[in-house]
Structure 1
Amino acid sequence: MTDTANAIETSEPITDYYTMLLLADIQQGSSTIKLSSVEGVYKGRVLYTSDMDDFFTILSVNYDTNTVTIDGSFDYNGQNKIVTVE
């Protein structure tokens, strides 16, 4: 059975199986990032950018404010930066 078929059978969100590109507002030294959307974003997923070699694990998601907390911080500021969530 494929992952997609399994997701449908178990009613898991289909977004669990996709890589997402999102826009993010990043503050240097902060572990909280504001994303353009948090739909399909869950604790334990990986977040990274092409600007850095580091990968971060998402520790928590605030669905009211579209923010995530990661297990590290970025060393630069940026608005509307493209981040990848896997």
Structure 2
Amino acid sequence: MGYFLVDVVSIAVEIYIWLIIARVIISYFRPRSYHPVIRFIYEITEPLLALCRRFLPGTGVGLDFSPLVAIIILELGKWLLVALINSVFL
């Protein structure tokens, strides 16, 4: 059971990180936002990125570091969840 939960948490976090990376890449091309795939990526990633933007000061040059901070938070959260699962189930 523990290994299964660790795998589920790891895969879910990795998918979310790849969605954030896809969003960063897509943002460079100024896509049409009505495309369903692009809308899905933005709707899934926006809650965490908006939360990160609330706590980050503006850079003044148009750079958004919220994806980087979100990825770091996700990795730390994954590490903590895996450690917790391992301590409970293994």
Q: Which has the higher strand share?
A: 1
Q: Which has the higher helix share?
A: 2
Same fold (TM over 0.5): no
Which of structures 1 and 2 has the larger relative contact order (alpha carbons within 8 angstroms, sep 6+)?
A: 2
The TM-score normalised by the length of structure 1 is 0.28
The TM-score normalised by the length of structure 2 is 0.28
Larger radius of gyration: 2
